A and B are shown apart, each in its own frame.
Chain A
């Protein structure tokens, strides 16, 4: 009986809220945040991390900015091949699914580098492609970049203060209607792009993040069926080329330090007929 009365009371209490919710189907914009505030929604939002979709939009903008610095290499065959290798390693990563999937592209520059934009876009330079001796080494580069995305290294380079400001903006009265907060959010978005761009293009990730990405890449290579020793060979080759002014050497720890860790971890796989097949299809590429 008490339960029944409680249910009836509850029904009367929530009825106006559902009337409001149903009205939303016909109204153009309903300030649902007014009610959401009473339900504690803002409290949840105030402490939430960056979502997968937000990471995706940041990553798109970072990629768009990188593409103002380096032109896109318009070679469908090479792009297709890089995507095939990339998808093969991405599915073996600890984060095989991202908001709108992984996408790989080649930048038309001789500079040796690769960039993991948050959310799943990975850009590798033509110079880096040429530095790879075979498909397994290309897989090592892409597995390293996929690892940065899996570990959210790029998106985590947005300053905590800035993200707190985003959440504060969303919690303000102005955010009840998008237009009220739009200007602030665009400025904060712009700042976030700067944070990520500076990290992945100018300063590089932390030494720890790079070593972790190497470690993860070796695991991914093994899971995908590639030779984990390809990472060793690649780093040895890059290390022997010295320390050029720009590119990957500027943003990554010294190859010698990375090699010490990777050599201890990576077991050289037997090179068989299949490795030759992979080497052949790599060599057939006209980069």
Chain B
């Protein structure tokens, strides 16, 4: 019984899952908000302890510094259904492959957008998807900046 309890507590707030940062140019934020001033960079392959999840953000401990990293820093977490128990976040807990879990409990979610699209089929969401598909290759952007004498 004690063993079971310890195991279960391991899945609670005191428990920390270690994840490796897989995306470059990551910054540790003081709040789960890109608008906050970053605490500092977190390099690729850095191991961080996940303390908490809130929507699309993980609260982590990185080398003794606590802060927030976007979930997109860990594609492995996004694709492996990684999520702390929903009880911690208050949203409905579902087992899902999409970012549904991350967005659960929030007001405007992919599900709300889907309902809106169904109600308004005239809206040009396909073109919005096309616009979001435009990616500027990092190396190409650097070359563009350099060629124009701009600041990287």
A-side interface residues toward B, CB under 8 Å? 11, 14-15, 17-22, 24-33, 35-37, 39, 41-42, 45, 50-54, 57-58, 60-61, 63-65, 67-68, 72, 79-80, 83-84, 87-88, 92, 94-100, 103-105, 121, 135, 150, 152, 166-167, 169-170, 176-178, 182-183, 185-186, 188-190, 192-193, 223-226, 272-275, 277-278, 281
What 0/1 pattern do residues 100 to 131 of B give for CB contact below 8 A with A?
00111111111111011001101111011011
Complex Cα gap A60–B34 (Å): 18
Chain A: minimal CB distance from B15 (Å)? 10
Question: Ordered nearest first, which 4 A-B pairs have the shortest CB separation?
Answer: A274-B149, A36-B90, A21-B85, A41-B90
The answer to whether A72 and B127 touch (CB under 8 A), given A21-B85, A51-B55, A95-B35, is yes
- The 23 sampled A-B contact pairs (Cβ below 8 Å) are A17-B12, A21-B93, A36-B91, A41-B90, A51-B33, A52-B56, A53-B103, A60-B113, A64-B125, A64-B128, A65-B123, A72-B127, A79-B134, A95-B35, A121-B131, A135-B148, A152-B35, A166-B107, A170-B105, A176-B92, A182-B115, A185-B115, A274-B149
Chain B residues near A183 (CB-CB < 8 A): 115
B5 within 8 A of partner (CB): yes
Chain B: minimal CB distance from A22 (Å)? 6
Query: Are A53 and B87 touching (Cβ within 8 A)?
Result: no
Known: A32-B85, A88-B144, A190-B116. 13 other contacts (CB 8 A): A15-B5, A18-B87, A20-B87, A30-B92, A33-B105, A53-B103, A57-B108, A61-B125, A88-B150, A150-B35, A167-B107, A224-B150, A277-B148
Query: Are A30 and B93 touching (Cβ within 8 A)?
Result: yes
B139 within 8 A of partner (CB): no
Query: Are B151 and A223 touching (Cβ within 8 A)?
Result: yes
Query: Are A61 and B92 touching (Cβ within 8 A)?
Result: no
Interface bracket on B: 35 or more
Complex Cα gap A177–B92 (Å): 7
Complex Cα gap A60–B129 (Å): 9
The answer to whether A103 and B132 touch (CB under 8 A), given A39-B90, A68-B124, A186-B115, is yes
Chain A: minimal CB distance from B139 (Å)? 12
Query: Are A88 and B124 touching (Cβ within 8 A)?
Result: no
Query: Are A67 and B124 touching (Cβ within 8 A)?
Result: yes
Query: Are B106 and A61 touching (Cβ within 8 A)?
Result: no
Given A32, A88, A192, which contacts B93 in the complex, CB threshold below 8 Å? A32
B11 within 8 A of partner (CB): yes
Chain A residues near B95 (CB-CB < 8 A): 24-28
B89 within 8 A of partner (CB): yes
Chain A residues near B102 (CB-CB < 8 A): 53
Complex Cα gap A5–B12 (Å): 19
B94 within 8 A of partner (CB): yes
Given A15, A188, A192, which contacts B8 in the complex, CB threshold below 8 Å? A15
Chain A residues near B11 (CB-CB < 8 A): 18, 21-22
Chain B residues near A79 (CB-CB < 8 A): 134
Query: Are A278 and B149 touching (Cβ within 8 A)?
Result: yes
Chain B: minimal CB distance from A163 (Å)? 8
Complex Cα gap A189–B85 (Å): 28
